[in-house]
Amino acid sequence: MKLLHISSVYKDLVEIFEKQNPDFKSLNYFDHLNQFMNFSRGQEFSYYYYFNLHGLKTDVFYINYESLSEKNYLSKNNKKENVSKLSLLKNKIEEFKPDILYLQNSIYFKNQDIYEIKKKFPFIKYVISWICTPLKKDIISVLDCSDLILTCSKEYYKDLIKIHKNVIQINHAYDERNFNQKKFDSRKFDVSFCGSIIIKKNFHTKRLNILKQINSNFGKLNICGRMSLYYKELLNFQNLNNYLQIRKILKKPVYGTDYFEMLSNSKICINTHADNQEFSGNMRLFDVTGQGSLLLTDKTKDSHQFFIPDKECVEFDNADEAINKIKWLIINPKKMMEIAENGRKKTLNFFSYKKRCEKINNIINQNIC
């Protein structure tokens, strides 16, 4: 059984990789792919390792990393020409001959693209789509040709099950190969946040406000990430004020090994979900705890089902509560370390990529074999 994991990547991550690895042009396709995966440490890095470990032969294709995909194409075609993303993918499918397609990011496909691929390559038995984002028309159309939908939260499961009969909720996970142990008292940052801030209705206006208030009251907040600006939202004075305050301290995004290094260098890491999200489920829950930092997360309807509050994580309802809990934790370092260590143990025991891939592999075997 073979699986082709079709993923995507941030353009600035590619730029950072190529700047730090100037020899990438001389690498063959296989070495380039593996060097990039090891650098970026995305989901495909973990799937590739653990699926193959479980006996499910897996390969990775980045749909929007054309210079890498073209290397694979040119290794089989002598003539260089302008080739579309879809054609590069078809070339990879023809070469690898997967039984299963795993679509990490459906926005790059139209419904007819997948039907066309399935018709051209009848050896493809199963299409899995991973959905962990609010549903839009372009995503919904691709679901029609998917045999199985995997999603990260109850939030999205409730919507997806209305339009597809085969939906399974499966949590994000942590890859223990990313762990970089650091002594708590020697960590560089007391409080950090690593992630995106999308200033748009129903996205991260709550996150923006919480981070601004924590920084104003605590004054030592370390923030790394990208801030996407929708000017209509800045007509709201509070959003504008918060944006201006956070922009002053915002550092550039960190990815891959740098991202995990930042988490392990932080005593406390803040996590919030989207404005209208009632259930927990983002990656930061497991990245933070897996790296041995204390998870300070917003309270949701099911957050206690992941980590026990005040034992494996610390929760807050609003910015004032978050500020008070940060101050208490800083003057109680032994308790902070204890909670962080309990959170790490919980993640390794229940939310590891090894266990996640084993579960997905079992699902595949039940549905195909």
Q: Which two tokens stand for residue 194?
A: 């690593």
Write the pLDDT tens digit of every residue in 275-325: 888 899 899 999 999 999 999 999 999 999 999 999 999 999 999 999 999
pLDDT at site 234? 64
**Look-up of token digits 């009969």:** 165
The CATH class, in words, for 177-350 is: alpha beta
Does domain 2-173+352-368 bear CATH number 3.40.50? yes
- Residue by residue, what is the 3-state secondary structure of 277-326? CCCCCCCHHHHHHHCCCEEEEECCCCHHHCCCECCCEEEECCHHHHHHHH
Answer whether residue 346 shows pLDDT above 90. yes
Which residues belong to CATH 3.40.50.2000 in the chain? Answer: 177-350
Write the pLDDT tens digit of every residue in 96-153: 999 999 999 888 888 889 999 999 999 999 999 999 887 776 677 778 889 999 999 8
Q: Which two tokens stand for residue 115?
A: 């039907």
In percent, how much of the chain has pLDDT > 90? Answer: 71
Write the pLDDT tens digit of every residue in 56-100: 999 999 999 988 988 887 776 666 667 788 999 999 999 999 999
Answer whether residue 201 shows pLDDT above 80. no
369 pLDDT band, cuts 50/70/90, is: low
pLDDT at site 235? 65
Alpha helices in the chain (DSSP H): 11-20, 29-40, 43-53, 66-74, 85-96, 111-120, 137-143, 154-160, 205-218, 237-249, 256-264, 284-290, 319-330, 333-350, 353-368
Task: Return the sign of the alpha-carbon dihedral for residues 142, 148, 153, 155.
Answer: positive
Answer whether residue 237 shows pLDDT above 80. no
Answer whether residue 34 shows pLDDT above 70. yes
Predicted TM-score of the model (pTM) = 0.92
Question: Three-class SS of residue 165?
Answer: coil
Q: Which two tokens stand for residue 23?
A: 């020899």
